[in-house]
Amino acid sequence: MALRMRMLLERHRKKGTINEVPRFTPVPGGIKTYHNDRHGFEIDLPENWQAPDKPEQFDRILGPVDLTDPHDFFQFGCLDEAFNFVINPLGLEPSLEDTETEFTLFAQDNHFYDVVFGRITVGGREHVCAHYRVQDRWGTRWNKKYMIVFGGIEYSITGTCNDPQFFARRESDWDAIVATFRLLVPVDDSSLNSSRNSRLLEKRRDITELRLLRREIGGLLYGQAYDAIEMENYPLARALLMQCLRENPDHRLAHKEMAVVLKELGEMRGALRHRREVKRLDPADTVNRINLVELLAGCGDRKEAWRETDELGAMDPNNSHYQELRASLINKKRPNYQLRFFLSLLYFLFVIYDALIGGVVLRAYWLPVIGCVPAAHYFNQSGPWVGINRKTTNWLTMILYLSTIMITLYKQGLGTLIIVLLIPVFMIGMAILADNALKE
């Protein structure tokens, strides 16, 4: 995989999307030296560049500033141009090639266009730089980012302006300015070269290259959705996959991951629909068809599940895994979620109705109250399998469970005190469900 990514980067270089920039002479006259004692560096800047008094003054360029962000950042500049400084501890010090790969991911996620990589020599060492175009709600800007790394600390400097012609004239001057960056105290980075750090860097490299490979194969939206799935951010993954499928309704990989996401969100019927789409697009994908059998059996479509296992067996009669799948349909007793759902719902409705009319449930009220516990469990477990998503199922379970108990106890004549004691339980349950709803 590492070899494949190196080939991809080399292909970009041949296309001219990555190039090498020459070394530059020191910045010309009319300069002032900026000292940063906190982070131990200095750099020569044009005399007419001013630093803002407050971070809020450069919201226009950086966006809303989070003053609680532990990474330090500040800006110098004038009306035509600006330099944004971000000081960021890396922990590990990646190679120049790894820095390019990681910035490629960052650029894709932030919609940077026309990215061109290069090198610049600062402090006797080569560092990565890249120029690119940004288009967002603040308009179009031309940027050049310098990723200066010493001792596991990245001193990220980004030059920005709004005029492409000004950028073309000024880029070499920005290079000269950055080349004057120097540390006030030499750093000892020998501890960063341990075997443990090398293993961690190799692992991080593999993860980054795999993420890029997914985007190369399935497209940007698909790759971003897969990243969201790995972080267990299923609502974000669903939104990205929906956009991906709107652009390409026959995107097989997007359908496959959407089935995974919807199952995690408790939308079994939706997951089943996307598994069927994957089968339509690629009938030879046996892993998908095995998952399809499981969903069909859970949703009560046992005839179709049998048909799928027969087709799988016909494709490879000697495959023991398919034989085990068929045997499990015969021998493994799967829950009938549809029956459990409707019986649980019927139980709640019966208890509520009978309590309201003063029926038999009030003669031994504790018995139907205890029965609400397994009824709520089966109702909540079965909801996603009958076409109700998990969020809605959670709300319905809480409402039916607590309202049934409260009505039964109240009609039993235990008074308002019991109801008052149950209100905090009800509110806590509602708060938990509301929090889950907001996350989704």
What is the pLDDT at residue 368?
Answer: 83
What is the pLDDT at residue 419?
Answer: 58
Distance of alpha carbon 275 from alpha carbon 296, whole angstroms: 10
List, as own/partner pairs, every contact residues 346-355 make where C-beta atoms lie below 8 angstroms and the sequence separation is at least 24, other chains included.
Answer: 347/371, 347/372, 347/375, 348/372, 348/375, 348/379, 348/400, 348/401, 348/404, 351/404, 351/408, 352/403, 352/404, 352/407, 352/408, 355/404, 355/407, 355/408, 355/411, 355/412
Please state which CATH number belongs to domain 2-202.
Answer: 3.40.1000.10
The tens digit of pLDDT for each residue in 359-368 reads: 888 888 778 8
Fold (CATH) for 212-331: 1.25.40
**Edge-to-edge strand order for the sheet containing 41-46?**
31-36, 41-46, 182-183
Residues 361 and 368 sit within 8 Å (Cβ to Cβ): yes
Residue 416 makes CB contacts below 8 A (sequence gap 6+) with 410
* Element holding 334 (H helix, E strand): none
Distance of alpha carbon 287 from alpha carbon 360, whole angstroms: 52
DSSP state of 57: G
What is the pLDDT at residue 275?
Answer: 94
Other beta carbons within 10 Å of 229:
19
Distance of alpha carbon 344 from alpha carbon 346, whole angstroms: 5
Residues 419 and 406 sit within 8 Å (Cβ to Cβ): yes
Residue found by looking up tokens 């002479």 in the block = 25
- Tokens read off for 403: 């309202």
Please report the beta strands in 323-374, taking only residues with DSSP state E, as ranges in sequence order.
Answer: none
**Edge-to-edge strand order for the sheet containing 125-136?**
72-77, 82-89, 153-161, 139-150, 125-136, 112-122
What is the pLDDT at residue 430?
Answer: 53
CA 385 to chain centre: 26
Residues 418 and 409 sit within 8 Å (Cβ to Cβ): yes
What are the domain boundaries of the chain?
2-202, 212-331, 337-439
Q: What is the pTM of this model?
A: 0.69
Low-confidence ranges of the chain (pLDDT < 70): 1-29, 52-71, 189-193, 330-333, 414-440
